[in-house]
Amino acid sequence: MTKILAIDTSCDETSGAVTEGSRVLSNILWSQASLHSKWGGVVPSLAKRAHQERIGWVINRALKVSKLTPSEVDAIAVTVGPGLAIALEVGIQKAKELAMKYNKPLITVNHVEGHILSVFAETPKHKVNISFPAIALVLSGKHSDIVLVKDFGSYEIIAYTIDDALGEALDKAARMLGLGYPGGAILEKMAKMGNANKYGLPIPMMGKESRFVFSYSGLKSAMWRLVENEKPLTKEKIYDLAASFQDKAFKHVERLLIKVLDKYKASDFLFGGGVSANLEIRKCIRGLCKERGVKFHIPYTKNTCGDNAAMIGVASYFKYKKELFVKPNDLDEVERIPRARVDSLFPWEH
Ligand code: KG4
Ligand code: ZN
């Protein structure tokens, strides 16, 4: 079975993984969250330096855990976009070096495709059975995308965000409440203790769901005004504000998904990205799928919900089978594509 050493440095996690087919042999993550937290968001120059410092370590560790040497893998895979340009460069540079040194084919992967296919990641205890067409929902710090998956490598974007991504909006709300960065997971904890109906925040795009876009700027502004009015914040207020914001933010996803599931008939639903770790939104979407007889899939562990290299390894396996390699002579053509779209090929794949 094909063994792949995969790398992702698209944002603020430095990650290396080894996969065998769609099985994850190792998935090593070095989070930069604490480095960026005091700035309330990712600082590109700090991210780049931290990736440079850690990349060698995560790759060695991923190989060690999988008990393989670089000569024993069949290919090197790397994220080339979308993501932070100077962060992506670090992983790409390393992947090219390894491909040349060990004479291995290089596979370039779209980060959103990685999140979509992250649900295919298997372990000895977790087997996956997915059919197409499928609907994929990627909710992360940078993306709110709904994608029709016709086959591996064949994607149609159904919905996208016109301003903030959901994870980004959750992070900003958490910041308004003084909860730190990244805030999605902390907001979830606070929300559990609060009353979602205490405050009258708006559900974004109410009645306009057939436009098939996400938008969080209005909800974010309303939250900002509300938080300012409620200051000084008590614990109880924070719980209720967190619950209210999360509830309205998720209702927007739910209402849009109902439209999508009614329009596009799919057998399976794939949910990935950092926000897919949230139990509340999982429960809601699982319910929607169940009512419609659609099989619901999530990544097998929290580490494969957010940014990680295992999903890049899994996604690259399907490209490996189609021999979508970068030819040795074309290695120089490979570069970061910060705004890469999941429905398009990379220039060197044409
Ligand atoms: O996929 P990811 O690691 O990075 C991007 O590709 O952007 O997603 C990170 C996002 C952050 O906004 C973070 O707050 C959010 O995922 N997140 C969560 C949870 N865990 C992480 N949001 C809601 N609930 C969670 N439990
Ligand atoms: Zn991501």
pLDDT tens digits, 331-350: 999 999 999 999 999 999 98
Q: What is the reported pLDDT for 293?
A: 98
Phi, psi of 143, deg, nearest 5: -130, 140
Q: What is the reported pLDDT for 274?
A: 97
Q: What is the reported pLDDT for 329?
A: 82
| CA-closest residue to ligand 1 atom 14 | 184
Q: Do 336 and 85 meet the contact criterion of CB atoms below 8 Å apart?
A: yes
Q: Is the CB of 274 under 6 A from ligand 1?
A: yes
Q: Do 2 and 74 meet the contact criterion of CB atoms below 8 Å apart?
A: yes
Q: What is the reported pLDDT for 34?
A: 86
Same-domain status, 110 and 193: no
* CA–CA distances in Å: residue 264 to residues 134, 206, 253, 299: 9, 21, 16, 22
CATH number of the domain to which 198 belongs: 3.30.420.40
Probe residue for ligand 1, chosen from 9, 275, 283 as the CB with the greatest number of ligand atoms within 8 Å: 275
pLDDT tens digits, 12-64? 999 999 999 999 999 999 999 888 888 888 899 999 999 999 999 999 999 99
pLDDT tens digits, 182-199? 899 999 999 999 999 999
Work out whether the CA dihedral 327, 18, 343, 13 comes out positive or negative.
Answer: negative
pLDDT at 328 over 80: no
Q: What is the reported pLDDT for 139?
A: 98
Ligand 1 centre from 2 Cα, in Å? 30
Q: What is the reported pLDDT for 132?
A: 98
| CA-closest residue to ligand 1 atom 23 | 184
Same-domain status, 177 and 248: yes
Q: Which atom of ligand 1 is nearest to the CA of 12?
A: 4
Is residue 263 domain-resident? yes
Q: What is the reported pLDDT for 101?
A: 96
Of 258, 273, 299, which residue sits at a domain end?
Answer: 299
Confidence at 215, pLDDT banded by 50, 70, 90: very high
Ligand 2 centre from 279 Cα, in Å? 18
Q: Which atom of ligand 1 is nearest to the CA of 140?
A: 8
Is residue 155 domain-resident? yes
Q: Is the peptide bond before 70 cis (omega within 30 degrees of 0)?
A: no
Same-domain status, 158 and 295: yes
Q: Which residue has the tokens 């016109």?
A: 162
Same-domain status, 203 and 325: no
pLDDT tens digits, 287-321? 999 999 999 999 999 999 999 999 999 999 999 99
Q: What is the reported pLDDT for 38?
A: 83
CA distance 156 to 287: 24
CA distance 68 to 66: 5
Same-domain status, 149 and 294: yes
Write down the mean pLDDT value for the chain.
97
Q: What is the reported pLDDT for 1?
A: 93
**Higher-confidence position of 303 and 327:** 303
Same-domain status, 34 and 180: no
Query: Which residues constitute the domain of residue 110?
Result: 3-123+304-349
Of 275, 299, 323, which residue sits at a domain end?
Answer: 299
Same-domain status, 40 and 147: no
pLDDT tens digits, 110-166? 999 999 999 999 999 999 999 999 999 999 999 999 999 999 999 999 999 999 999
Is residue 31 domain-resident? yes
Same-domain status, 157 and 262: yes
Is residue 266 domain-resident? yes
pLDDT at 260 over 80: yes
Q: What is the mean pLDDT of residues 268-279?
A: 98
- The ligand whose atoms approach the alpha carbon of 167 most closely is 1
Element holding 145 (H helix, E strand): strand 144-151
- Name the percent of the chain lying above pLDDT 90: 95
Is residue 101 domain-resident? yes
Structure-token pair, residue 65 = 């855990």
DSSP 326: B
Is residue 128 domain-resident? no
- The ligand whose atoms approach the alpha carbon of 165 most closely is 1
Same-domain status, 63 and 89: yes
Same-domain status, 74 and 140: no
- The ligand whose atoms approach the alpha carbon of 245 most closely is 1
Is residue 129 domain-resident? no
Same-domain status, 290 and 308: no
Same-domain status, 224 and 119: no
Total domain count, the chain: 2
Ligand 2 centre from 131 Cα, in Å? 23
Element holding 114 (H helix, E strand): helix 111-117
